[in-house]
């Protein structure tokens, strides 16, 4: 059968004061009191070529968000933190499943697992996940949780989305076997009678309220430990953030820029230590620098390579430092050359100068987002939202409040 896909497939004729639209030898529509000359491809959208195929949320049963629309239809997921009232610093993310049992497939073995498979399922799910947000439970002065948001691009028609929380930990920590998978709280019970850690309310207009309980099995059941809104949106992810959320999620992606970038930033702090945060250029999303793999490299070698690659302001040539006085906000801006992928690092209670001077005995500890190269192999860096990072300065994870340095950035192309 012939298809009607575009304007030129139509035949439009004037009959008196009306326009008649025909195709494949059939009259399809009569537009009363309309001149043929007023009709053009700009005001008649027709068929698969023209009419946008916009995915929408069509089902939320068992807190599995099913996206309607064709497989080629794409949209973005937008979440915005509302409030945090928790003693833990929790992380929330999502993964895509194949059915209402939460089925996922291991690409290495071809085996498919469901939530009933427990630990193996959880590990595999998080390997395929994207991180959305972390909630700071003890915000430093001037830091507002409700200014944190995330846009994740590439949600497709037919996707079924399941959400999860890592209680007081991170996906990075789970995947590095630093914390047990029992800390993973699934947002769906997949039809079982397990306690639901997540309450979803439909706010109308395609917007939903997510209220999490971070106590495994219920606890105080106040469902206010992390609250955020969620909707599908055609808003693009903020510049620089497109690699964020995937495993080793804290990267800044400037590869798509062709001109210098202006970074306006703010730094806040709740810490005794005077920490400094920098970014350094990596060769790949898994943190390779000059051929050194963070999972196998000598720590001193990797540190030196990172220092050699430290982000410098394209105008001043100075290393771009992110630091603040305790409970104060430091704002600033930097000009960054395009083309690279940057990763954050934290210098604990010390300075870049102490690492680069001739004294080998004053070198402070440095933590990277790649846990294999950290002295304690623990996660010290979280993605809080798009272009927002929280740092933990204490060895072994310490108090885990991730507010010892908080960096937020706004990036724009310099015109
Ligand atoms: Ca609670
Ligand atoms: Ca991390
Ligand atoms: Ca801390
Ligand atoms: Ca702190």
- Ligand 4 centroid to 322 CA: how many Å? 16
- Ligand 4 centroid to 267 CA: how many Å? 13
Question: Pick from 9, 74, 75, 14: which is nearest to 44 by CA?
Answer: 9
- Ligand 4 centroid to 137 CA: how many Å? 10
- Ligand 4 centroid to 272 CA: how many Å? 8
Read out DSSP for 56-102? EEEE-GGG-EEEES-TT-EEEEEEEEEEE--SS--EEEEEEESSTT-
Q: How many CA atoms lie within 13 A of 413 on its CB side?
A: 10
- Ligand 3 centroid to 169 CA: how many Å? 13
- Ligand 2 centroid to 38 CA: how many Å? 57
C-alpha 174/C-alpha 166 separation (Å) is 8
Strand, coil or helix: 200: strand
- Ligand 2 centroid to 168 CA: how many Å? 12
Burial class (CB in 10 A: 0-12, 13-18, 19+), 300: exposed
Say which residue the tokens 């950290």 belong to. Answer: 374
- Ligand 2 centroid to 280 CA: how many Å? 16
Q: How many CA atoms lie within 13 A of 201 on its CB side?
A: 8
Ligand nearest to the backbone CA of 223: 1
Strand, coil or helix: 301: helix
- Ligand 4 centroid to 187 CA: how many Å? 29
- Ligand 4 centroid to 52 CA: how many Å? 48
- Ligand 3 centroid to 402 CA: how many Å? 5
- Ligand 2 centroid to 139 CA: how many Å? 18
Q: How many CA atoms lie within 13 A of 266 on its CB side?
A: 12
C-alpha 63/C-alpha 196 separation (Å) is 9
**Beta carbons of 134 and 402 less than 8 angstroms apart:** yes
Q: Which parts of the chain have pLDDT scores under 50?
A: 1
The two tokens of residue 18 are 């009306």
Question: Pick from 178, 142, 157: which is nearest to 266 by CA?
Answer: 142
pTM reported for the whole predicted model: 0.88
CA angle (328, 388, 89) in 5-degree steps: 85
Question: Pick from 131, 138, 128: which is nearest to 97 by CA?
Answer: 128
Read out DSSP for 202-239? EEETTEEEEEE--STT-TT----SEEEEEEEE-PPPPT
Ligand nearest to the backbone CA of 246: 2
**Beta carbons of 21 and 10 less than 8 angstroms apart:** yes
**Beta carbons of 7 and 46 less than 8 angstroms apart:** yes
- Ligand 3 centroid to 270 CA: how many Å? 8
- Ligand 4 centroid to 403 CA: how many Å? 5
- Ligand 4 centroid to 391 CA: how many Å? 9
- Ligand 1 centroid to 355 CA: how many Å? 43
Q: pLDDT (tens digit, 9 = 90+) per residue, 202-225?
A: 999 999 999 999 999 999 999 999
- Ligand 1 centroid to 415 CA: how many Å? 47
C-alpha 268/C-alpha 324 separation (Å) is 6
- Ligand 3 centroid to 167 CA: how many Å? 16
Q: What is the pLDDT of residue 261?
A: 97
- Ligand 4 centroid to 268 CA: how many Å? 11
Q: What is the pLDDT of residue 69?
A: 87
**Beta carbons of 131 and 93 less than 8 angstroms apart:** yes
**CA-derived radius of gyration, the chain:** 25
Strands 65-68 and 56-59: antiparallel
Task: Please state the domain extents for the chain.
Answer: 7-50, 56-233, 252-413
* CA 119 to chain CA centroid, nearest Å: 24
Helices and strands (DSSP H and E) totals, the chain: 5, 25
Cα separations in angstroms, 22 against 18, 26, 29, 30, 38: 13, 5, 7, 9, 16
């Amino acid at each position: 059968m012939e298809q009607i896909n575009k304007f030129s497939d139509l035949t439009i004729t004037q009959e008196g004061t009306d326009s008649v639209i025909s195709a494949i030898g059939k009259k399809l529509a009569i537009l009363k009191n309309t001149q043929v000359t007023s009709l053009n491809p700009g005001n008649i959208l027709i068929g698969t070529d023209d009419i946008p195929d916009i995915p929408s949320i069509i089902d939320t049963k068992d807190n599995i968000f099913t996206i309607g629309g064709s497989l080629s239809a794409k949209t973005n997921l937008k979440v915005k933190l509302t409030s945090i009232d928790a003693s833990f610093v929790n992380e929330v993310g999502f993964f895509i499943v194949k059915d209402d049992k939460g089925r996922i497939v291991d690409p290495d073995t071809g085996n498919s697992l469901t939530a009933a498979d427990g630990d193996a399922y959880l590990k595999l799910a998080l390997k395929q996940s994207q991180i959305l947000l972390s909630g700071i439970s003890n915000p430093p002065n001037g830091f507002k949780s409700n200014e944190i948001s995330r846009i994740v691009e590439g949600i497709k028609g037919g996707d079924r989305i399941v959400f999860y929380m890592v209680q007081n930990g991170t996906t990075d920590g789970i995947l590095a076997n630093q914390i047990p998978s029992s800390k993973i709280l699934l947002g769906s019970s997949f039809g079982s009678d397990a306690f639901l850690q997540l309450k979803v309310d439909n706010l109308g207009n395609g917007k939903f309220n997510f209220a999490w309980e971070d106590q495994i099995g219920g606890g105080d059941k106040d469902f206010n430990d992390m609250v955020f809104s969620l909707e599908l949106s055609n808003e693009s992810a903020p510049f620089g953030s497109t690699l964020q959320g995937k495993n080793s999620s804290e990267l800044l992606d400037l590869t798509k820029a062709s001109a210098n970038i202006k970074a306006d930033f703010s730094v806040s702090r709740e810490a005794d230590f005077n920490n400094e945060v920098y970014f350094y250029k990596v060769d790949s999303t898994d943190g390779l620098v000059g051929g050194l793999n963070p999972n196998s490299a000598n720590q001193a070698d990797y540190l030196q390579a990172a220092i050699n690659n430290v982000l410098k302001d394209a105008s001043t040539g100075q290393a771009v430092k992110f630091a603040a006085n305790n409970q104060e906000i430091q704002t600033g801006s930097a000009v960054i050359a395009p083309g690279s992928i940057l990763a954050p690092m934290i210098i604990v209670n010390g300075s870049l100068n102490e690492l680069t001077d001739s004294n080998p005995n004053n070198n402070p500890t440095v933590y990277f987002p790649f846990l294999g190269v950290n002295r304690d192999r623990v996660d010290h860096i979280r993605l809080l939202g798009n272009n927002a990072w929280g740092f933990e300065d204490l060895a072994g994870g310490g108090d885990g409040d991730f507010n010892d340095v908080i960096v937020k950035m706004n990036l724009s192309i310099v015109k």
